[in-house]
Amino acid sequence: MELHFAKLHGTGNDFVFVDDFSRDIELTAAQVRFLCDRHFGIGADGVVLVRPSDDADCIAHMHYINADGSLSQMCGNGVRCFAKYLVDRGYVPSGAKHLTAGTLAGPKPISFEVDENEKLVRATVDMGHPVLDPALVPVASRANAKSAQGVAYVRDVPVDSPWGTFSFTCASMGNPHAVCFVDDWEALPDALFPDAADKRLATLDLDKVGAFYERSPLFPERANIEFAAVGEEGIGMRVFERGCGETLACGTGACAVNVAASLTGRAGRENDLHLRGGTLHIVWNDDDHVLMTGPATEVYQGTVEL
């Protein structure tokens, strides 16, 4: 099969996009893994099939598949790229500034900015309200705290590992997230760093510790694992995504970290989230909705044989 595609990324979180408005493309897990392979395939964190939506309010449906072939409910960076794919190809009327994307996590309203060529350069996605109920995240732990609005959630729950105990605050932004804030890098074990004299977020062996916690029994559907540190210029974070491994950015992860930082009193409700691939601006507004703003970029188009 000859497959036409476009490669897009949002702050380094990259995707293979395929037009499937005809609904005649079904990719196997092996084909998805090939497309996402950075040595033998195109290279991406996931594949997006652009399909018609059954919801009349949505311009199209984002069918998102992780790099390992598993289906995902939502991807924050992916949905911004989804908007760009549609805007740049004329699926959105000229002059429009808003659209609604269909996802497995529900409709996502998006406002966007375009350049002089009517190409989308930046988008703000209404990611909806964070899900904190442990049974819905899901996380196999009782709620041990309440938000200012009285919503029960799992806060700083300690979880053992081969490298000691780490504490996680849990939320879902359409997919499950577990956020670990690190206040003292020197206190972490030497085995998690290539150089024991240089312990910081950038040098943490996230492939090791993230992979361990992703599949912890605490997370019955697995989870995206974030390690974060609050600073004067915002919140630094890295993310190990379920089904992908570490990615340069994660939109839902940035939203979850922002929510967790606010819930635990480490930061306010509006922050810049600094990821390896760039910065996302996140606002948890008074209506309990999380707004994510960031860029979307198309890299190239091509054809691949499957």
DSSP secondary structure of 125-153? EE--PPB--TTTTT-SS---EE-TT--EE
Closest CA to 70 of 206, 173, 222, 207: 222
Do 73 and 40 touch, CB atoms closer than 8 A? no
Residue type, 269: R
Cα(198)–Cα(201) distance, rounded to whole angstroms?
10
Active site residue 58: no
Q: How far apart are the first and last CA of the chain?
A: 5
Encoding tokens for residue 262? 């606010």
Helix/strand/coil for 214: helix
Please, which residues bridge with residue 167 across strands? 158
Q: Check: CB of residue 237 under 8 Å from CB of residue 191.
A: no
Q: Quick one: angle between helices 251-263 and 76-88, nearest 10?
A: 140
Neighbour count for residue 118 (Cβ, 10 Å): 12
Out of 75, 180, 244, 255, the active site residue is: 75
Q: Is 250 noted as a catalytic residue in this protein?
A: yes
Distance, in Å, from the CA atom of 218 to the CA atom of 137, rounded to the nearest integer, reads 11
The one catalytic residue among 180, 244, 250, 255: 250
Q: Which residues are marked as active site? A: 75, 250
